[in-house]
Every structure is written in C-alpha cells, then in structure tokens.
A and B are shown apart, each in its own frame.
Chain A
Amino acid sequence: MRSWVFFLICVALAAGVFGCARLIGNDYAFFAGYVVLQFIVLAQAWNILGGYTGYVNFGSAAFFALGAYTSVFFHKFHPLPIPLLMLLGGTVSGLAGLGMGYLALRLRGAFFAIATLALAVVLQTLMVNWSYVGGARGAYVIRPESVWLIGNYVHYLFLLMLALAVLAITTARTIERSRLGYGFATIRDDELAAEACGVPTLRLKLIATTLSGAFMGMAGAPFPYYIGYVQPAAAFGLDYAVNAIAMPMIGGTTTWIGPLVGAILVASLQQWATVTISSELGLLVVGLLLVGFVIVAPSGIVGLVQKHFSAGASAASLGRKAKPADTP
C-alpha cells in the first residue's frame, strides 16, 4: 500500500477515534487517551533508532523532557500556540539527537547505550541548575480554559497528540519500506558488512538519532500543559526511559506495528494499574513484562504472531530446505 494511502486511512481512523471519544464525553477518556497516544509516539520514535538500527537509547527521557522544557521556557518568555511549540521542541530535541549521535555513535553497542544514559543525566543536571525554567523546584504551567472551535483544552491536547501519533506511525512505516529502511536493517544486522556494501553507516545512524530525538521532543512539548507542573526529577524520570524501551520490545522491534501494539497494551495496563492499585505497581508490571519478554519472546508480540502463522507454512517448506552439506 502506498504511503499516502496509508496516511489517509490513518487520518480517517484517527478522526473516528476522536469522534467516538467526544461522543463518550467522559473527560477521563481524553486524559488517559492522551497518555496512550504519547507513548505510541515515544515507542515509535525509540524504535526508529533502537529497533531499526539496533542502537539502544537509554536516555529517551532526556529528549522528551527537552521538548517539555522548551515549552516551559517559551511559556515564561512568550507563550506560543502548542503546534508551534511542538515544532520547536522537536527541533531542539532533534538537534540534541544529532549531537548525541555525533558524540556517541562511533561506540560499540553497549558503550553507546551507556553514553545515552550519561547524556540524559547531564541534561537533567543542566535543567536542575537552570532557575529560569524552575530548576529543582519545578515550574507551574497554567492550562488555558478552552480553545477556539474544540472547546475543552484537554480535548485539544488529545487531538494534537493523535495527529502526532499518525505522523509518527506513517513516518516509521515509510522508512521501513524505503531505501533508508534497508540501510537501517543492514546496520542492525552487520554494520561492518553494511559499510563494505557502500552503506554510509554513520550518516544513517545520525539520521536515526535525529529523527528519534525530534519525535520524542514533539511528544514532550504539550506535556507541561497537560500536567500543569514540570520538575526535572519527573520529566527526566526513568519510567519514560523504561517505557520507551519496553513498549517496542514487548510489541516487536522490527516493524511499525510492534511499537503501536506494545504502546497501547502497556500504557493501558499502566493506566489501569494506576487507577485500581497504585502507579508503582504499574511500573513494576512494565519492568517484569520487559524482562519476561526479553528472555522468552525476544521478537515481541509481532514475532509470536508471525511464528504462529508461519508454523504451517514452514512445515511445508521443510522438504525443500537444503540441509547443510559438508559442514567443515
């Protein structure tokens, strides 16, 4: 299916979702839905780098928080409409992604992951020490009462995040099927061989970190208006990093479907746990699911489904499969 056709279908579905939510009328649906959509974006963004190229980013929270703090900065400096803030947050985080890539991408997988964590802490320390945006005490952002045409401000935020989710999903899918997607896959499979085949690995990895960072920043930009109070400990919290990793790994990292499924499942689970028992328990469940899936089902839910459906097909092809001849 062509990319623009897919995009239109997504837009239509999104419009449907928004319409249904308005019909239900329950504000909680919008609050919880916003969180789920936000995580869909974060999971897709993480997966562009982590799933497609195989470079694990532990510092996802930093890019998300940078987007949030960009909004806080402008809120104090000169308030701007949220779509514009999203663009700005995306740009800032995209640049941060580029910078991180430049610093860290020459490193072997494990070192890269640790470097991303290091960067997140450095950025957090910077924010903690920057009193203009509230420093350690945090910053309050008052949400406007209503907005033109849509009315309820939270509905507006929900709609924006919905649009961003559609954009993220479409981008991920388009990349996957493009020349860029092949390049990413070769980096993941064997970087040395990729270079030997003419793939400019560093350049592609930088594209991945920039895109990934930009989407995370865009997801973070409306956050201050959603939550009302931003402080470094929460914005840079480990739970964003863990969720950003857990959702694609649980859903499946090789396609755009994985992060979508993983995000919806895990975010909903967490929301349910938060409401019924406690948010800590929700986090515990995420952690356990991550460890469980990584050990037992590394290809995620998508992988499990694929295996289930191809079990019949591969049995038939076993006869044609050549056996290793003279293995030395």
Chain B
Amino acid sequence: MTGPLLQVAGLGKRFGGFVALDGIDLTVASGERIGLIGPNGSGKSTLVNCICGTLANDSGTVSFDGKVIDRLKTHERTRRGIARSFQLPRPFATLTVAENLLVPLLYTVNARPGNNLSAAAIEARGADLLQLVGLADKAAQRPRDLTQVEMRKLELARAMAAEPQLLIADESMAGLSQVEVADIVTLLIKLNERGVTIILIEHIMRAVMRFSQRLVVLVSGTKIADGAPADVIRDPDVERAYLGQ
C-alpha cells in the first residue's frame, strides 16, 4: 500500500465564534504508533470526532487509504477501517458485555465485502477479544455491573472488535492504576504488531512515552509539535504550553 494511511489536511472546525481546530495537518503512515497530547480543551477530541465523522469539518479534508472520506457517515468510515473508543465510555446499556462486542462484529466486520462469518465464528471472535482484555468472566453481565476499569476495557475491546486498520484510543487509561496502565499499553503495542495503526490520546506521560514512535502536540486548536517523542518533549514551546502546567 503506497501513501499514508490517514491524511488530514488543513482541517478546521468552529463552534459559533469559537475556533476548535485551526488548519490541522497530520499524516499517519500504516503501522505507526502515534501519541497525541495537549491540554484540556486543545481540540484533541474534536479532531478525533472530525476524523471519524461524528462531527463535520468546516474546512480541509480527511483522507483514508488514499480516498477522501469527508462526505462519509461515521458507520461508513468504521467499515472502511477507522475505529475509535470514546473518552467517556459509551457502552450499550441494555446489552450484555459479550453482546456489546457482537455489534461491531455483526455490523462492521461482517458488512465488509467478502466477509460472511457464521454466527459461531462471530461468537468465537468476540470471546477471543474478551479473553484478550481480561473480561471473559464478565461476558454475561450488563455494563452497569462493571467497574470503571472494566468499562474502559470494554470500550477498547469494542473498538478492537471492529477489526480496524486505524484505531484511535481516546483517553482509555484515566483512573487506572500503574499496573493497569502498563497492561493496556502492552495490549496496544501487541495490537500494533499485528498490523493495526494506533493513535493514542492520553495525559499519562509515562504511557505516552513508552507507547509512541511519534508524538503530536495540540494546543488551542493548532499543532505545535510533531516528531520523535524525545525531541518533542524538549521543545520549549511544548514545555511552556503543556508540560509546564
């Protein structure tokens, strides 16, 4: 596959008079591990929403796998291979944990041309994922019976169930203990080794530094740094804007 996997060019988004994103350029090659950091309100989630189609960008373009996807609805982008987890977990409350994973399997994986998995195969994939994130024994429970940590894992697992080429993990680790954070980072790295490109949005610097091959910094809707993690965190602008706080 030639060319970048994801190409964001001149992306702009405003809410009334407030400029949330101001001409963002971002190129993501297949297989990369990108960390996206920035202070609260800098536009990280807005950027994710625009990439995924939850919000419509006002200017600029988003291209995925060589094709412009601006006009596509969210579910179409998911089927093309972009999956995201939400900052505040949004599980399907009336479905069980296992059924939550069935949804992307049924509606994304099975909806891709050429796929026609049997019910048994789908259930097997769901079970594998639950095993991977450590929620296998909670399969028959409702999301409201899960702990915060387990809900975040479910959120991540559900995004992974869509078998994406690009996974955007939006602050999946808030509130987790050191061990749990390390577990999730390991999980994500393993996923990346299987071929999934990952953009990790996080505040926990330890995790970001360990995970990222490249670090992007967003402040007040503009990208102020984009490069090797070690270089970026020594950048004086970055220090001033974010790390110093």
Direct contact of A and B (CB under 8 A): yes
Cβ–Cβ contact A324 & B162, under 8 A? no
What's the Cα separation between A31 and B241 when bound, in Å?
Answer: 77
Known: A182-B99, A182-B103. A322 touches B150 (CB 8 A): yes
**Interface assignment of B57: CB less than 8 Å from any CB of chain A:** no
Cβ–Cβ contact B103 & A194, under 8 A? yes
A-B contact pairs, 14 of them (CB 8 A): A188-B94, A189-B92, A195-B74, A196-B83, A197-B103, A197-B161, A198-B103, A198-B162, A199-B107, A200-B73, A200-B75, A321-B145, A326-B175, A327-B175
Q: Chain B residues near A188 (CB, 8 Å)?
A: 94
**Interface assignment of B35: CB less than 8 Å from any CB of chain A:** no
**Interface assignment of B104: CB less than 8 Å from any CB of chain A:** yes
Known: A186-B103, A196-B52. A324 touches B148 (CB 8 A): yes
8 Å CB contact of A192 from B54, B107, B111: B54
Cβ–Cβ contact B107 & A325, under 8 A? no
Q: Chain B residues near A198 (CB, 8 Å)?
A: 75, 78-79, 103-104, 107-108, 111, 162
Q: Which residue of A lies closest to B78 (CB)?
A: A198
Cβ–Cβ contact A186 & B147, under 8 A? no
What's the Cα separation between A189 and B78 when bound, in Å?
Answer: 19
CB distance from B149 to the nearest CB of A (A): 6
Q: Which residues of A (175-189) have their CB < 8 Å from a CB of B?
A: 179, 182-183, 185-186, 188-189
What's the Cα separation between A328 and B79 when bound, in Å?
Answer: 34
CB distance from B84 to the nearest CB of A (A): 6
Q: Chain A residues near B106 (CB, 8 Å)?
A: 179, 182-183
Q: Chain B residues near A170 (CB, 8 Å)?
A: none
Known: A179-B106, A197-B103. A186 touches B146 (CB 8 A): no
B83-122 contact mask (Cβ, 8 Å, vs A): 1 or 0: 1101000111111000100111011100100000000000
CB distance from B226 to the nearest CB of A (A): 26
What's the Cα separation between A202 and B54 when bound, in Å?
Answer: 14
**Interface assignment of B158: CB less than 8 Å from any CB of chain A:** yes
**Interface assignment of B177: CB less than 8 Å from any CB of chain A:** yes
Q: Chain A residues near B54 (CB, 8 Å)?
A: 192, 195-196
What's the Cα separation between A196 and B78 when bound, in Å?
Answer: 6
Q: Chain B residues near A200 (CB, 8 Å)?
A: 73, 75-76, 107
Q: Which residues of B (55-92) have their CB < 8 Å from a CB of A?
A: 73-76, 78-79, 83-84, 86, 90-92
Shortest 4 CB-CB distances between A and B: which pairs? A198-B108, A195-B74, A198-B107, A193-B90
**Interface assignment of B174: CB less than 8 Å from any CB of chain A:** yes
8 Å CB contact of A197 from B94, B104, B145, B146: B104
Q: Chain A residues near B95 (CB, 8 Å)?
A: 182, 185-186, 189
**Interface assignment of A323: CB less than 8 Å from any CB of chain B:** yes
Q: Which residue of B lies closest to A322 (CB)?
A: B147
What's the Cα separation between A185 and B92 when bound, in Å?
Answer: 8
**Interface assignment of A70: CB less than 8 Å from any CB of chain B:** no
A289-328 contact mask (Cβ, 8 Å, vs B): 1 or 0: 0000000000000000000000000000000011111111
8 Å CB contact of A189 from B53, B73, B93, B162: B93
Cβ–Cβ contact B162 & A197, under 8 A? yes
What's the Cα separation between A328 and B87 when bound, in Å?
Answer: 14
Q: Chain A residues near B73 (CB, 8 Å)?
A: 195, 200, 202
B153-191 contact mask (Cβ, 8 Å, vs A): 1 or 0: 000001101100000000000111100000000000000
**Interface assignment of A201: CB less than 8 Å from any CB of chain B:** yes
What's the Cα separation between A197 and B161 when bound, in Å?
Answer: 9
Q: Chain B residues near A179 (CB, 8 Å)?
A: 106-107
Cβ–Cβ contact A197 & B158, under 8 A? yes
Q: Chain A residues near B53 (CB, 8 Å)?
A: 195
What's the Cα separation between A200 and B86 when bound, in Å?
Answer: 18
Cβ–Cβ contact B150 & A196, under 8 A? no
Cβ–Cβ contact A197 & B148, under 8 A? no
Q: Which residue of B lies closest to A321 (CB)?
A: B145
Q: Chain B residues near A327 (CB, 8 Å)?
A: 148, 175
Q: Chain A residues near B161 (CB, 8 Å)?
A: 197
